[in-house]
Structure 1
Amino acid sequence: MRGNIQVLTLKGIPIRVHFSFLLILPLLAWSFGQSFQLAARAADVPPERLSGHPLVWGLGVAVALFLSVLLHELAHSVYALRKGGEVSDIRLMMIGGVSNITRMPDGARHEALMALAGPVTSLLLGALALFVHHLLEGTRSFNLSFAVFYLGSLNIFLGFFNLLPAFPMDGGRILRAVLSGWLGRVRATRVAGWVGQGFALLFGLFGIITGNFILLFIAFFVFMGAAAESRQVLLQSKLADVPVRELMGPRTATVEVEASLRELTEVLYGERLRAVPVVEAGRVVGLVTVEALRQVPVEKLAGLAVRELSEPVPVLTPDSTAWQALQEMGQRQMLQLPVTEDGVLVGMLSQEDILRGLELRELKESRRQGQGPWNLGGRGHESPT
C-alpha cells in the first residue's frame, strides 16, 4: 500500500508503518525531551541523577508510546477476530494507530466491547507504568523514573481521550452501538457524528483561544473523521444488499500469464482497457493495469512476462455484494476487479459501475417517494452527518 511499510505480523495481522510516523517521531522526541528538562529544573535535580541526554530519553518515550498505541489497536483487532470479524491490517501513523476492520463483529454489543477494548488496554498500561514508577521512587536515575511516569500519564490520557463520545474515537463507536438498538445503525451513526463534530468545534474554539495548534489539528481530525464515518455507514446501508451481478459489465479480453508485456500492450491499447485479467489454464489468477505497465521501459517489454506485473485479486463472484467489492477496491487501491465463477471470468466491475448503480437506485427511491428527477437521491443530498 502506498506510503505504508509492513514491519511485522502479529496474530496474523499485518502491522504497517506510514511514512508520516517517521516525520512525527523526531518532533515527539524533541518535545518529550523538553519535558524532561523542565521537570528536572522544577524538581531541582542534581546533575549526577540526570543519566543520559534528554533527547535520547524523549525518543525512548516516543517509541514506547507508539508501542502502547500498537497494543491499543491490537486489543481492538484481537477482540474483533475472536467474535467473527475480519481485520486487514493495523497502521501506525502521525495521528496514532488505526485498525482496519473490514467486517465488524455481529451485534451492537460486540461492537461496543470491541471499541472499549482499546481504551481499557491504554488505561491498564498507564496504571502499570505508574505502579512501576512508584517502585522506582528510590532510584538514582531521575530520567528513568520520570520516563516511566510520563509514559504512564500519556497512556492514561490516551485511554480517557478515546472514550470521548466523538467519532472517530472509540467513545463515538460505543455511543453508536448504544443508540443502534433504538435508532438503527444509519441514524445512530448520524447522531454520533453530530456529537463528534460538536466536540471538534469545541476543541477548535479552545485551540484558537489558547493558541494551541496541536488541539486545532486534533479538532480538524475529529471533525473530518466524524463526517467520513457517517458517509461510510450511509454508503454501506445502500450497497450491502446489492449483488455484483446487477452492476458488473461484460467480460473483457484476457491475457495469458506467460505472454510478453508487448502482447499485453497490444491488448490494453487495442481494446482501450485500463486493466486486463491475467489467466492461467482458463482461470483468473491476477490483474494487470495500465499504470503498472507504464513503469516498464519500452525496450524491456518484449523480454518480460505478464506474470511480472500481475497483481493478485480477491475472489469476487456475481453473488458478492457491491459493498464488499467497493471495500476490496479501496484496500487494494484498484479501480476495477474481475468477477469470476469457479475461477472463470464472467464480467468486470469498476468503481464507476458501483456509483452508477447507486445513482440509479437513489433515482428509483426518489421517484417511488413522489419526488422529481431534479432531486436525484432525495435525502441522499442532505449532509450524511
Structure 2
Amino acid sequence: METSLQIGNIAGIPVKIHWSFLLVIPLFAWIIGSQIVLTTELIRILFGVPIDATLITAGLNPYILGTVVALGLFFGVFVHEVAHSLIAKAKGIKIHGITLLILGGVSQMEEVVPDPKVELPMALAGPLTSLAIGIICSALVYVFPVLPDPAVAGVLIFTFGYLGILNVLLFAFNLLPAFPMDGGRVLRAWLARRMPLSRATQIAADVGKGFAVLFGIFGFLMLNPILILIAFFIYIGANQEATFLRYYVLLQDVTVADAMSNSLVTVEPETPLPRLLELMYETKHLGFPVVERGNLVGIVTLSDIHKVSPIDREAMQVRDVMTRDPITLPPSAPLIDALRIMTTHGIGRIPVVDDGDLVGIVTRTDVLRVMELREKA
C-alpha cells in the first residue's frame, strides 16, 4: 500500500508527504502553543528585542502560531532536502523523490558506492542551507520592531525568531558525526580520503551507534520519547549504512550469471497445486518459474499457495495463484541489483532471461552464498 502522497515536483524531483507528517504537524502545534509564553520570553532574551505578546497569547492564537511555526520548520526541512538533491543531481546521481515524514525529510537517491568528492559537498549542502535560513530568519527579527503596530510586530518577531532558532539547531543537529545524519556522511567523506571506504564507513557507523546509545540513555533518564525515537532512528540508520556498503563491496564486479542456477525446474500454468506442493518437497525449492510454450509467463512460490485454503487447493492450478509478468534480470546484470530488487519487493527469487529465453534463476540464497564465499576468500 502506498504510504506517501505526491504533491508536486521540483526540478523534476517528485515531492511526497508521508502519512506520519499529517500527525506530527498538530503535535508540534500543540507543543509550541502550550509553551508559547515561555518561548516568547526565551526569544526576547536571546535576540534582545522587546516583544508585545498581546496577539501572541490571545484566544487560539498560540495554537495557530504553533501550526505556522511547525509548517515553517518543515518548509525549512524541505528546502534542506532540496539542496541535497540538487547537488546530488548535478553530480549525476539519480533522485527518486523527496518525502516529508514524522522525523523530518528524506531524499531518496539511487544506491551507489559513495565517492568522497561527491558525498562531502552533497552532505554539507543541507546543513548549510538550514544555517542560511536560520540566519535570514534571525536577521528579520531586528527589522520587525520598526513596524507601526507593536502587536503585529510581536507576532512576526516570535514566528521568525522561533524559526531562526529551530533552523540553527537543525544545522547543528545534522552535523553531528552520526549516520544517517549529514554529519556522519561528512565524517565518512573526510575519513575516506585517508583510508579505505569500507573502514571509513565502519568508523562513521560506530560513532553513529555511540550517539544513538547516548540519546537513548538521556531519553530514558529524562522520560523523553522523542529522544528515544531519535536514538532508534540513528542506530538503525548507522547499521543499515554499514551493511549496505559491506554488501556492495562483497558483490562488486559480480554478475547475476556468476550466482544463478542453470539447472532449472519449471512448471506449467495447468499444473495442479497438489502436484506443485509435491514438487517442492521433491526438489526442496520454494518457487518455480512458470513456462507456457517455451515462454516465461509467471512465477509461483510457496507463499502463493499459502494464500489459498487447503480445501480450495485441490481444485486449483498454478495459473490461479502465480504472479504474472514477474521481474526478470539479464545474466549481465550486477548481482547487487538482484539483491536490491529482492529487498525492495520482498521476493526471494528472480528469473534470469537472455534475449527472451529463460536461462536461469537467482535466489536470495545464491546471493548470500556468493557473499559468504567472497568474505572468506
TM-score by structure 2 length? Answer: 0.77
1:85-144: CA deviation from partner (whole Å, max 9, x where unpaired): 223333333222222322348631111111111112222222233334443333533344
For residues 306-345 of structure 1, what are the structure 2 equivalents within 5 Å?
310=324, 313=327, 316-345=329-358
Partner residue, 1:95 = 103
> What SS does structure 1 have at the residue aligned with 2:110?
strand
1:46-102: CA deviation from partner (whole Å, max 9, x where unpaired): 258848532232223223322322222222222222212223333333222222322
> What SS does structure 1 have at the residue aligned with 2:192?
helix
Partner residue, 1:5 = 4
Distance 1:14 1:218 in 2: 26
User: Aligned match of 1:150 in 145, 162, 175?
Assistant: 162
Matched residue type, 2:33: G
Partner residue, 2:77 = 69
> What SS does structure 2 have at the residue aligned with 1:316?
coil
User: Aligned match of 1:82 in 86, 90, 111?
Assistant: 90
Per-residue deviation, 1:310? 4.4
8 Å Cα contact 2:298-2:322 kept in structure 1 = no
- Aligned CA RMSD, in angstroms, stands at 3.8
Bigger Rg over Cα: 2
Q: CA distance change for structure 1 residues 121 and 344 in 2, over 3 Å: closer, same or farther?
A: farther
8 Å Cα contact 2:53-2:155 kept in structure 1 = no
Partner residue, 2:209 = 197
User: Aligned match of 1:136 in 114, 135, 144?
Assistant: 144
8 Å Cα contact 2:330-2:352 kept in structure 1 = yes
Distance 1:282 1:73 in 2: 48
Partner residue, 1:18 = 18
Matched residue type, 1:227: N
1:201-228: CA deviation from partner (whole Å, max 9, x where unpaired): 3334444454444223323322332222
Distance 1:94 1:267 in 2: 48
Per-residue deviation, 1:33? 1.8
Matched residue type, 1:359: E
User: Aligned match of 1:174 in 173, 186, 189?
Assistant: 186
Q: CA distance change for structure 1 residues 169 and 47 in 2, over 3 Å: closer, same or farther?
A: closer
8 Å Cα contact 1:247-1:354 kept in structure 2 = yes
Distance 1:122 1:311 in 2: 45
Structure 1 residue runs of 5 or longer lacking an equivalent are: 366-385
For residues 1-385 of structure 1, what are the structure 2 equivalents within 5 Å?
2=1, 4-10=3-9, 11-39=11-39, 45-47=53-55, 50=58, 53-104=61-112, 107-137=115-145, 138=147, 140-141=151-152, 142-250=154-262, 251=264, 253=266, 272=280, 310=324, 313=327, 316-363=329-376, 365=377
> What SS does structure 1 have at the residue aligned with 2:179?
coil
Q: CA distance change for structure 1 residues 340 and 12 in 2, over 3 Å: closer, same or farther?
A: farther
Q: CA distance change for structure 1 residues 41 and 176 in 2, over 3 Å: closer, same or farther?
A: closer
Q: CA distance change for structure 1 residues 274 and 144 in 2, over 3 Å: closer, same or farther?
A: farther
Q: Which moved more, 1:109-118 or 1:207-216?
A: 207-216
8 Å Cα contact 1:268-1:274 kept in structure 2 = no
Structure 2 residue runs of 5 or longer lacking an equivalent are: 43-50
